[in-house]
Structures are given as structure tokens and as C-alpha cells.
């Protein structure tokens, strides 16, 4: 037996026991010739005391111990002497009086300190990720992630969901991003794609009669990266037959609530989650992922100015635009230059301008434009926004959607809490009634979700005549201003699917080559089905109260998609390229040569 106890579990009640612990050296301190070694494992830290007379051999070994050496220590657990108890440490009432120490492994001096309070460059942290992961915070996060994953899995299994793995070398899937591709050695010139999601396979599992499928699925999307995006990420992916919106929403809520409970942070989400129509989210929050924590909603106050003589507003309204406003409670103490900065920010975001108003103590409005507004208009603003003395009111007159977009962005920048749950709670909701299509790059309709999303049946007769007005049967899960996942009821009839493909401008050939295998399977009895995928890294990021998903992934990539640990992506040698029938363009060869020179080593 290597050890009898973990470092973090010893308590006063263990006093008198013989213990063997293993772990890394946190610190070694010399107090008047006696060595105090803090030994750490993932459960915590224990103080080990090596006395030169009590155990001279062990003391000689302890003298050699340095930070991050791996030790095996045995000795008696004993209460710490009066006055030396450390109330900040769970093991702080005891120490181990050393009888023997073995050095299991030595460590070179670390490239950075593991101390949580020291800020270390992220590139360096990722380069030495195994060391970085030794930090208690990351250990805690990895375990939190495992716990919430197990809880969600159990919640779905309790509903009869079956975990099925789907392939990762596939034909490309239509989730709207760029694919990562893999060349084939056996069929040179032909390529696999890594799945952007298991979408087609999970629908095939419905044809297969699996009935309720789920999977913690790795997905790959070649997109520009952000704090909450990685080129490879994990989804809790699910699909169910003979199911509709209500069923899916209930199951996802159950899985997410189980994850919240397992995280043990005491943050509750109240079920059922509120629902908001997409149009309302866009109008009232300027976003399809509203952060409900960031104060009041945006209000359309165009009516207040129906007969206004204030030119800027009148001309916007005449041109079919809107006047929209947002109130920042107690935001009126900003200085003139801070207010000017807000106007600049609004312009950066695409607004023609921004009008600010401060509600004074006596209820009057202070603003550069107030002299152009009638009493009734001023009252109208205050009433519509329920403005109180001390508040700041921001008005944007523009195309309605742009006005909401700009105010919505300012709302988040000025009022959204920074963290995720600790002080602000988690505000989760469903956004429903998304449009089926959005305007694509070529001006024609493109799928807002993916091409298998069922149109809202009430809107079916407008599918061809006014596609952009057609709502879909899709839904997003949103929390704290982040899209946590999306899903939909799927099309399962050939005629609706063909109509959607036709509107998307797909030729028979496109359809056949990209989705033929799905549509073929659909010819043999496809049950109505619906599904969802939760962005698991993002959910864990919220539960861990981290600002970046890189903090909740054991081995993440940087913002440029690189892995500083392994050096991926990396060049291949000519032999490997030849085997898969790939030749580099001259530009690529030049790039690689330059890279090689910069790094001072040959590639391949």
C-alpha cells in the first residue's frame, strides 16, 4: 500500500494514528533546526515535521526536499502544539511527526509559481499545463466538471435516454461553421470532416428506433475563437423520438438542474425556466441571448414623440425608425466626459448618436437635448421608463433593430455583473420562436439554425412567399448572456424538407451529395423527433464561476487555436503528406520555412 491517507483528510480525531501520505512538496521551512514540510495532493495539504534527533535518517532526506519533489512520508499523526494550530487549513489541528521519508521523484525548479495569487501568463500556463493543473483551483474545477457531468448523465438515464457514440471521421455536417478536415491515406484526394455536431447521426439513431439518445459529444468548428469558444468543445447532445418542444425543454431543464445541484454552489435555477420570444429578446434586450441580470429592459418610446418638434427624432420616425430607451438605475452620477464616452461607444457600435438624460433630485431631466422637448414628452419618457431621481436614461433614435442592438450592448457593458453566480445568481431562460432563416451572405435565405429545423406550422403557408418572416420550432437555452445551447423539432416529412432545401437554393446534386444518406434513411419510416445540445464547457464555466472556457478544459487551445503544450498544429514531413496525396502550395512552403527559421529548428 503506497499510502494510508490522503494529505487533506487528517483531522484532530486521527491523532495517535500511524499515517503514510504521498504528495508534492509545497514548502520546506527551517525553524531552529527542525524542518516543517507542507505536503500536498489533490485533497489538500498536511504539515510534516522532521526532527534531527527523533528521526535522523528521515531528517537527512527532508533536508534534500525542494518545492514540488514527490515524497512518501510516514509517521504519527499528532495534535499541533498550543499556539501553532492553523485555523485556515482543514488539517491545521494536526501534523505528522516524521519517522521516515522517501523521495519518490525530484523536480526541477518550476517555470512559474503555482501560488494562486500570482498571475501567470496564460501561454506559459498552457505550455506547462500539467503543472498548472496542480493548482487547487483547477483541480477543483476538473472535479466539479466530472461531478456535474455524472449528474446530468444520471438525470437523462432516469428518463430512458441511452448513451450512444457516433463517429468523428465523417462527411461534413451542416452547422454553419467551417469544418476541420482530415485527409484519407486509403483514398488519397478524399477527405473526412470532423463533426461540427453529431446532428445527422443522432437523427439516424431516431430512424434506428433508439428512441432517446444522448452523448457527451466532442465537436469541432473552425471558427474565430473567443473567450467562450474553442475549436474543439463538448456538447451534451440529445435527441428523442415522438417528442416535441415541451418534452425536450423539460428534459434539458432536468439535466441542467441536476448539474447545478451537483455543483453544490447553492445557486438555484427555478424550474420551469422563463421563456421569451426571439422578437422580444431582440427588441427589449438587443440580443438573442439576453442577460437578464443587467437591469431593466429596453423600451420603445416612439409614441411619446409622435408629434415631436425635435428634428433628430422626428426625421428618424418619419423614415420608419424608432426611438428606444434604456434606464440605468442610479447611473446618473457619471461625469460629463464619461457620458461623452458613452456617446462615442454608441457610435462605434453603429448608432447615429446617443442621447443621455440624468434624472435630477427634483425629478427634472438634465440633458443637452431637453430644451427641444415639451413637458409632455419629458414626462412621457419618465413614465415609460419608470425613471427615478439619480437614474441615467439613454435614448437611441435609429432603425428599430439597430437602436436596440446599441442600447443592448451598452446595457451589458454598463450593468452586467462580471462573474457568473457568486454575487449575481444565474439568470437562465429559453428563447423560443426563432426565425427559420436569416439573410445569408448572398442576400438569400440561410438557415438560422440548421436545415433540418421544422418551420412553425402556423407560418408554413408563407415559406415560399416570405421566408424571412417564418418562425421555426427551435429554442435556445441562455444563461447570464451566454448561449448555452440550442435545438429544435426536426423536419421529418419529405415534402417540407424539400421545400426548405429549395428555398435555401440547394440543387438536387448538393442535397444528394451532402445529406443523401439522411434522406435515404428517412424513406424507411422516420419517427417525428426533436433534440437539443448543451454547450457543456460553457455550462461548466458558469458553474465554476470562470470567465473563460479555457479554465474548465483540461488541455485547451489558445485564442489562435494552438496548443502550446504539444506544439499543435505542426508541419508534417513530405513522406506523411505524400501518403495522403497532399502537396503544399508554394506560399505554404514559404510560410513553413519562415516559421522554422524563427523557431530555429527544422520542421517535420
Chain residues binding ligand ASP by CB under 6 A are: 175, 197, 199, 235, 486-488, 531-533
CB of 145 to ligand ASP, least distance (A): 20
Q: 438 is written with which cell numbers?
A: 436569416
- Compare residues 199 and 308 and give the one whose CB is closer to ligand ASP: 199
- Compare residues 43 and 486 and give the one whose CB is closer to ligand ASP: 486
Please state the φ and ψ torsions of residue 154, each to the nearest 5 degrees: -65, -40
Give the whole-angstrom CA distance, residue 24 versus residue 72: 9
- Compare residues 278 and 532 and give the one whose CB is closer to ligand ASP: 532
- Compare residues 211 and 300 and give the one whose CB is closer to ligand ASP: 211
Cα→Cα distances 60→35, 36, 446, Å: 10, 13, 72
- Compare residues 198 and 331 and give the one whose CB is closer to ligand ASP: 198
Give the whole-angstrom CA distance, residue 462 versus residue 260: 41
CB of 419 to ligand ASP, least distance (A): 26
* CB contact at 8 A, 432 and 273: no
- Compare residues 221 and 420 and give the one whose CB is closer to ligand ASP: 221
* CB contact at 8 A, 434 and 449: yes
- Compare residues 294 and 491 and give the one whose CB is closer to ligand ASP: 491
CB of 102 to ligand ASP, least distance (A): 50
Place of cell 487549513: 89
CB of 532 to ligand ASP, least distance (A): 5
191 has which bridge partners? 183
- Compare residues 393 and 436 and give the one whose CB is closer to ligand ASP: 436
Give the whole-angstrom CA distance, residue 364 versus residue 133: 56
Give the whole-angstrom CA distance, residue 146 versus residue 259: 10
Comparing every residue's Cβ against ligand ASP, the nearest one is 197
- If DSSP states are collapsed to H, E and C, what string results for 328-343? ECCCCCCCHHHHHHHH
- Compare residues 420 and 454 and give the one whose CB is closer to ligand ASP: 454
CB of 250 to ligand ASP, least distance (A): 16
CB of 517 to ligand ASP, least distance (A): 17
- Compare residues 305 and 536 and give the one whose CB is closer to ligand ASP: 536
CB of 231 to ligand ASP, least distance (A): 15
CB of 485 to ligand ASP, least distance (A): 7
DSSP for 259-311, please give it: HHHHHTS----PSSPPEEEHHHHHHHHSSSS--TTSSSPPEE-GGGGTT---H
Q: 73 is written with which cell numbers?
A: 512520508
Give the whole-angstrom CA distance, residue 61 versus residue 101: 6
Cβ count near 451 (within 10 Å):
21
* CB contact at 8 A, 322 and 401: no
- Compare residues 392 and 533 and give the one whose CB is closer to ligand ASP: 533
CB of 530 to ligand ASP, least distance (A): 8
Q: 98 is written with which cell numbers?
A: 516524521
* CB contact at 8 A, 216 and 149: yes
Of the candidates 292, 202, 164, the residue with the CA atom closest to the CA atom of residue 518: 202
The residues, ordered by sequence, that sit 6+ positions from 172 with a Cβ below 8 Å of its Cβ are: 179, 181, 193, 196, 514
CB of 206 to ligand ASP, least distance (A): 12
CB of 96 to ligand ASP, least distance (A): 51
- Compare residues 346 and 526 and give the one whose CB is closer to ligand ASP: 526
Give the whole-angstrom CA distance, residue 218 versus residue 79: 49
Cα→Cα distances 592→123, 574, 576, 579, 601, Å: 22, 13, 16, 19, 11
- Compare residues 248 and 339 and give the one whose CB is closer to ligand ASP: 248
192 has which bridge partners? 182
Give the whole-angstrom CA distance, residue 22 versus residue 467: 65
Helical segments of 94-244, H only: 122-127, 129-132, 136-158, 199-207
CB of 553 to ligand ASP, least distance (A): 18
CB of 540 to ligand ASP, least distance (A): 17
CB of 488 to ligand ASP, least distance (A): 5
* CB contact at 8 A, 104 and 70: yes
Give the whole-angstrom CA distance, residue 351 versus residue 246: 39
- Compare residues 45 and 530 and give the one whose CB is closer to ligand ASP: 530
Amino acid at each position: 500500500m503506497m499510502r494510508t491517507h490522503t494529505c487533506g483528510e487528517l483531522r484532530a480525531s486521527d491523532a495517535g494514528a500511524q499515517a503514510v501520505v504521498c504528495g508534492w512538496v509545497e514548502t520546506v521551512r527551517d525553524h531552529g533546526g527542525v524542518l516543517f514540510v507542507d505536503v500536498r495532493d489533490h485533497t489538500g495539504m498536511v504539515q510534516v515535521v522532521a526532527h534531527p534527533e527523533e528521526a535522523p535518517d528521515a531528517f537527512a532526506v527532508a533536508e534534500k526536499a525542494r518545492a514540488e519533489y514527490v515524497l512518501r512520508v510516514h509517521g504519527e499523526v499528532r495534535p499541533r502544539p498550543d499556539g501553532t494550530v492553523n485555523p485556515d487549513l482543514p488539517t491545521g489541528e494536526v501534523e505528522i511527526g516524521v519517522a521516515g521519508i522517501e523521495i519518490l521523484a525530484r523536480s526541477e525548479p518550476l517555470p512559474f509559481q503555482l501560488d494562486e495569487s500570482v498571475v501567470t501568463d496564460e501561454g506559459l500556463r498552457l505550455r506547462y499545463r500539467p503543472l498548472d493543473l496542480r493548482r487547487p483551483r483547477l483541480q477543483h474545477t476538473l472535479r466539479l466538471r466530472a461531478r456535474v457531468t455524472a449528474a446530468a448523465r444520471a438525470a437523462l438515464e432516469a428518463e430512458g435516454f441511452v448513451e450512444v457514440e457516433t463517429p468523428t471521421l465523417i462527411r461534413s455536417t451542416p452547422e454553419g461553421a467551417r469544418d476541420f478536415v482530415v485527409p484519407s491515406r486509403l483514398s488519397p484526394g478524399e477527405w473526412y470532416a470532423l463533426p461540427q455536431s453529431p446532428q445527422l447521426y443522432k437523427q439516424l439513431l431516431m430512424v434506428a428506433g433508439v428512441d432517446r439518445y444522448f452523448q457527451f459529444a466532442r465537436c469541432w468548428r473552425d471558427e474565430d475563437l473567443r473567450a467562450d469558444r474553442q475549436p474543439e468543445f463538448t456538447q451534451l447532445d440529445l435527441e428523442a423520438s415522438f417528442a416535441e418542444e415541451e418534452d425536450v425543454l423539460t428534459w434539458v431543464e432536468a439535466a441542467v438542474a441536476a448539474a447545478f445541484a451537483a455543483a453544490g454552489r447553492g445557486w438555484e435555477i427555478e424550474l420551469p425556466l422563463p421563456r421569451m420570444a426571439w422578437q422580444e429578446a431582440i427588441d427589449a434586450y438587443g440580443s438573442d441571448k439576453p442577460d437578464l441580470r443587467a437591469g431593466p429592459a429596453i423600451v420603445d418610446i416612439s409614441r411619446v414623440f409622435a408629434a415631436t418638434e425635435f428634428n433628430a427624432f422626428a426625421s428618424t420616425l418619419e423614415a420608419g425608425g424608432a426611438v428606444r430607451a434604456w434606464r440605468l438605475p442610479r447611473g446618473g452620477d457619471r461625469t460629463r466626459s464619461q457620458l461623452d464616452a458613452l456617446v462615442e461607444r454608441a457610435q462605434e457600435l453603429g448608432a447615429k448618436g446617443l442621447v443621455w438624460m440624468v434624472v435630477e433630485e427634483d425629478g427634472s431631466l438634465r440633458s443637452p437635448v431637453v430644451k427641444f422637448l415639451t413637458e409632455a414628452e419629458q414626462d412621457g419618457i419618465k413614465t415609460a421608463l419608470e425613471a427615478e431621481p439619480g437614474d441615467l436614461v439613454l435614448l437611441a433614435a435609429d432603425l428599430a433593430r439597430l437602436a436596440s442592438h446599441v442600447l443592448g450592448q451598452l446595457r451589458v457593458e454598463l450593468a452586467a455583473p462580471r462573474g457568473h453566480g457568486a454575487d449575481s445568481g444565474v439568470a437562465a431562460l429559453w428563447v423560443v420562436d426563432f426565425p427559420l432563416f436569416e439573410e445569408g451572405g448572398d442576400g438569400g435565405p440561410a438557415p438560422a439554425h440548421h436545415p433540418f429545423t421544422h418551420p412553425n406550422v402556423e407560418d408554413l403557408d408563407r415559406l415560399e412567399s416570405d421566408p424571412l418572416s417564418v418562425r421555426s420550432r427551435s429554442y435556445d437555452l441562455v444563461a447570464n448572456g451566454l448561449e448555452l445551447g440550442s435545438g429544435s423539432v426536426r423536419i421529418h416529412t419529405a415534402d417540407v424538407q424539400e421545400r426548405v432545401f429549395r428555398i435555401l437554393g440547394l440543387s438536387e446534386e448538393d442535397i444528394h451529395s451532402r445529406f443523401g444518406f439522411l434522406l435515404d434513411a428517412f424513406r424507411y419510416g422516420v419517427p417525428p423527433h426533436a433534440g437539443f445540445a448543451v454547450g457543456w464547457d460553457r455550462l461548466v464555466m458558469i458553474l465554476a464561476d470562470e470567465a473563460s472556457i479555457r479554465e474548465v478544459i483540461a488541455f485547451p487551445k489558445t485564442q489562435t487555436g494552438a496548443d502550446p503544450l504539444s506544439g499543435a498544429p505542426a508541419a508534417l514531413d513530405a513522406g506523411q503528406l505524400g501518403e495522403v496525396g497532399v502537396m503544399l502550395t508554394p506560399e505554404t512552403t514559404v510560410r513553413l520555412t519562415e516559421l522554422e527559421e524563427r523557431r530555429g529548428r527544422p520542421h517535420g
